[in-house]
Structure 1
Amino acid sequence: MTASALTLQAIQQAPKALLHDHLDGGLRPATVLELAEASGYDDLPATDVDGLASFFRTAAHSGSLVRYLEPFAHTVGVMQTPESLHRVAYECVEDLAADNVVYAEVRFAPELHIDGGLSMDAVVDSVLAGFADGEKAAGAEGRSIVVRCLVTAMRHQARSLEIAELAIRFRDRGVVGFDIAGAEAGFPPTRHLDAFEYMRNNNARFTIHAGEAFGLPSIHEAIAFCGADRLGHGVRIVDDIKVSEGGDAKLGRLAALLRDKRIPFEMCPSSNVQTGAVGSIAEHPFDLLARLRFRVTVNTDNRLMSDTTMSHEMFRLVEAFGYGWSDLQRFTINAMKSAFISFDERLAIIDDVIKPRFAVLIG
């Protein structure tokens, strides 16, 4: 099948692995409205589904990471009870399974969901229960999916060690890693070295949002000082790659190190356009990095704000760069290789699910 035959509908049938998806960025607009009504949250900017969906999409497309993050106040605002957290987590799994995502790591910041009096342990309990129930329901409908959790600390706050400890407490119950997120400028990852050291001391994995709204120093610190296993976004690594008029690429020392060490890039094309990290999908460094054999992966970031799915993200890349089935398979296997579950679990999903299903599509 040629790239021209890779329609959105065809891509929806492909198995997918997702590493970078924010729980509070993926709510259904109708759910936001219903949860707001149930909780008495009266700050929503619209009171109908279409109007609310339009608000999130428009507000997020701001050209600024800081402004992109502002609409999250509304989704977080309606996620302050065990019931709301369970529902959002359950529907997250339901929506991902409907898009044929077979493995997902979904992240959220527990510290943002305690305004209603919940402890952070109770917050994580509710989300994990929602994921588990969602997996069972999807399986009963013939859509097998594995969903694991990353707990995130906000980089402008000072609770990262507490969140890292939370990750370790729940490591055998569905939490597979740790992350820091939020505005990059002025909040370097090195502010949280104690949290990263704690994760390393406990033989645990973590990723860091870096190189999205800030440049190479953010990526350098995440790798050299913090020891990140993966990079959230990392688009600014392109600043360390020089491409000649003839198309030859010369990698700087940081870019070469990341490629040599097979550091995974959790790339989120649509989101990167919205935040102004890149001008358009066609200008996204994804293709350059893919051609240079960096370990690039395709991700949604925030499905509500970007009005997207994994299928849409892949289709946009196909439209921009002419990818075929073998390319999409490679990106999917890249993601599965980079997941924070055990090697045996990763290999089983690659060999028993991803490769056989792509073999059917490739013909």
Structure 2
Amino acid sequence: MSPDSAYVTPAGSADESSVPVSPTTLGLAPKVLLHDHLDGGLRPATIVDLARESGYPDLPTEDPVQLGRWFVDNANAGSLVRYLRTFGHTVAVMQTASALRRVAFECVEDLAADGVVYAEVRFAPELHLEKGLSLDEVVSAVLAGFADGQRAAAAAGRPIVVGCLVTAMRHAARSTEIAELAVRFRRDGVVGFDIAGAEAGNPPTRHLDAFDYLRANTMRYTIHAGEAFGLPSITEAIGYCGADRLGHGVRVIDDVVLPPGADPAATSFAGAQLGDVANYVRDKRIPLEMCPSSNVQTGAVANLASHPFNILARLRFRVTVNTDNRLMGDTTMSRECALLAEQFGYGWADFERFAVNAMKSAFIPFDKRMELIDGVIKPGYAVLIG
């Protein structure tokens, strides 16, 4: 039975080793991250530095600790639209090639330090043109930073592979241009395409020309869907737009009918009834880029206890664990995994399965995925499982 088709291991199962699952030990586990925004992961101290260098006057504070808290407090709005407003400050200080390269480098450094062995980091090039950079210059600067970071991480004994997703803003009209940009840089580190931004009023079908272009050029893509707008956005993303993955995809749970009184933390959901959309997502093994903390912050779910992650995992959907925006959530991959372990009783075998799910869903060639699964992920968890 393949890893993503197996049930999640019940808490306390016999294959768990004596190594406890904790935020500290989770940092040792090889993790795979598919959904992380570059402009949502800056270090607060870097924002302060870049604001001073660029003359940006509008930071709420220049104290890095207070600034980090400001981002988290304002992201805890229970609204995707309000959550997205916090990006005004990070994007504002990412308008030069040097700033973009620094932020990209530090992103890789931070992920590697957290035990991430493969990451796809996304950003919207169209948001970084205010000081005269071209789209190509923006992408080149970010890719240079990613390359710098990977070399530094390898030298430090924490190797990581990072791919770039270029994102088009769903409320704008540049998606085809950004799709062409993705294809143009596909040999240089861009592995895929995405659309992001407020879902309500901005359906993915507005960007069909971009998706047609990507398919014609055999380029992979994901679509933010099923976060704020619900099941119809998932239907459009997969049915009309042909998404390879779903960014968040939380609201696929709206097409699942559970037995009366079902506990979201249960180890089995026998008797659950899946609708046509949910069956399609599961049958096609469409990966769900789930971001637990972020989903609570934006109001996609009420709290972690009611998050559908566990239900979908037990029902054999291809779930993956992601950070979304590390700055706004004051989070890391280790923290996201720790929260899930505490809430749903997961052990090392479960986190191995989630990492394999993600690696199998990555937008790099099959042989590269298998190298990481067989050469890094499985051996890493074998040490922890014992």
Contact 1:138 1:144 in 2 (8 A): yes
TM-score, with structure 2 as normaliser: 0.93
In the other structure, the counterpart of 2:297 is 274
Which one-letter code corresponds to 1:279 in the other structure? A
| Mapped pair 1:253 → 2:268 | no
| Mapped pair 1:58 → 2:81 | no
In the other structure, the counterpart of 1:234 is 249
Which one-letter code corresponds to 2:313 in the other structure? A
In the other structure, the counterpart of 2:379 is 356
| Mapped pair 1:87 → 2:102 | yes
What is the CA distance between 1:4 and its match in structure 2?
A: 9.5
In the other structure, the counterpart of 1:216 is 231
What is the CA distance between 1:3 and its match in structure 2?
A: 9.6
Q: Taking structure 1 as reference, are residues 118 and 256 closer, same or farther at Cα in structure 2, changes over 3 Å only? A: same
What is the CA distance between 1:183 and its match in structure 2?
A: 0.1
In the other structure, the counterpart of 1:158 is 173
Q: Distance in 1 between matches of 2:80 and 2:279?
A: 27
What is the CA distance between 1:23 and its match in structure 2?
A: 0.1
Q: Deviations over 1:40-94 (max 9, x none)?
A: 0011011101110111000000000000000100000000000000000000000
Q: Distance in 1 between matches of 2:181 and 2:22?
A: 42
Q: Distance in 2 between matches of 1:42 and 1:229?
A: 41
In the other structure, the counterpart of 2:370 is 347
Partner-residue secondary structure (3-state), 2:329: coil
| Mapped pair 1:300 → 2:331 | no
Q: Distance in 2 between matches of 1:3 and 1:257?
A: 39
Structure-to-structure mapping, 1:1-363, within 5 angstroms? 1=16, 5-245=20-260, 247=269, 248-363=271-386
Q: Distance in 2 between matches of 1:116 and 1:345?
A: 37
Q: Distance in 2 between matches of 1:19 and 1:250?
A: 28
Contact 2:94 2:128 in 1 (8 A): yes
Contact 2:37 2:122 in 1 (8 A): yes
Contact 1:149 1:175 in 2 (8 A): yes
Q: Distance in 2 between matches of 1:3 and 1:231?
A: 36
Q: Distance in 1 between matches of 2:19 and 2:294?
A: 25
Contact 2:23 2:338 in 1 (8 A): yes
Q: Distance in 2 between matches of 1:270 and 1:2?
A: 27
Which one-letter code corresponds to 1:72 in the other structure? F
Contact 2:17 2:385 in 1 (8 A): no
Q: Distance in 1 between matches of 2:17 and 2:330?
A: 27
User: Structure 1 segments of 4 or more deviating over 3 A?
Assistant: 1-4
Contact 2:116 2:160 in 1 (8 A): yes
Contact 2:19 2:384 in 1 (8 A): no
Contact 1:164 1:199 in 2 (8 A): yes
Q: Distance in 1 between matches of 2:237 and 2:205?
A: 8
Q: Taking structure 1 as reference, are residues 228 and 345 closer, same or farther at Cα in structure 2, changes over 3 Å only? A: same
Contact 1:3 1:325 in 2 (8 A): no
Which one-letter code corresponds to 2:207 in the other structure? H
Q: Deviations over 1:248-287 (max 9, x none)?
A: 2100010001100000000000000000000111110000
Higher relative contact order (CA 8 A, sep 6+): 2
Greater mean alpha carbon deviation, residues 41-50 or residues 289-298:
41-50
What is the CA distance between 1:5 and its match in structure 2?
A: 2.4
Which one-letter code corresponds to 2:198 in the other structure? A
Which one-letter code corresponds to 2:108 in the other structure? V
Q: Distance in 1 between matches of 2:187 and 2:149?
A: 18
Partner-residue secondary structure (3-state), 2:257: strand
Q: How big is the alpha-carbon RMSD for the aligned residues of Structure 1 and Structure 2?
A: 1.0
Q: Distance in 1 between matches of 2:226 and 2:204?
A: 11
Greater mean alpha carbon deviation, residues 239-248 or residues 321-330:
239-248
Q: Taking structure 1 as reference, are residues 315 and 181 closer, same or farther at Cα in structure 2, changes over 3 Å only? A: same
Q: Which runs of 5+ in 2 are unaligned?
A: 1-15, 263-268
Q: Taking structure 1 as reference, are residues 117 and 14 closer, same or farther at Cα in structure 2, changes over 3 Å only? A: same
In the other structure, the counterpart of 2:12 is none
Partner-residue secondary structure (3-state), 1:5: coil
Q: Distance in 1 between matches of 2:17 and 2:59?
A: 45
Which one-letter code corresponds to 1:152 in the other structure? T
Partner-residue secondary structure (3-state), 1:305: helix
Which one-letter code corresponds to 1:282 in the other structure? A
Q: Distance in 2 between matches of 1:54 and 1:4?
A: 33
Which one-letter code corresponds to 1:157 in the other structure? A
Q: Which runs of 5+ in 1 are unaligned?
A: none
Contact 1:155 1:182 in 2 (8 A): yes
Q: Deviations over 1:112-167 (max 9, x none)?
A: 00001000100000000000010000000111100010000000000000000000
Which one-letter code corresponds to 2:353 in the other structure? R
Partner-residue secondary structure (3-state), 2:192: strand
Q: Distance in 2 between matches of 1:4 and 1:56?
A: 34
Which one-letter code corresponds to 2:54 in the other structure? S
Q: Distance in 2 between matches of 1:147 and 1:185?
A: 31
Contact 2:112 2:159 in 1 (8 A): yes
Contact 2:30 2:115 in 1 (8 A): yes
What is the CA distance between 1:2 and its match in structure 2?
A: 6.2
Contact 1:20 1:232 in 2 (8 A): yes
Percent identity among equivalent residues?
69
Contact 1:19 1:104 in 2 (8 A): yes
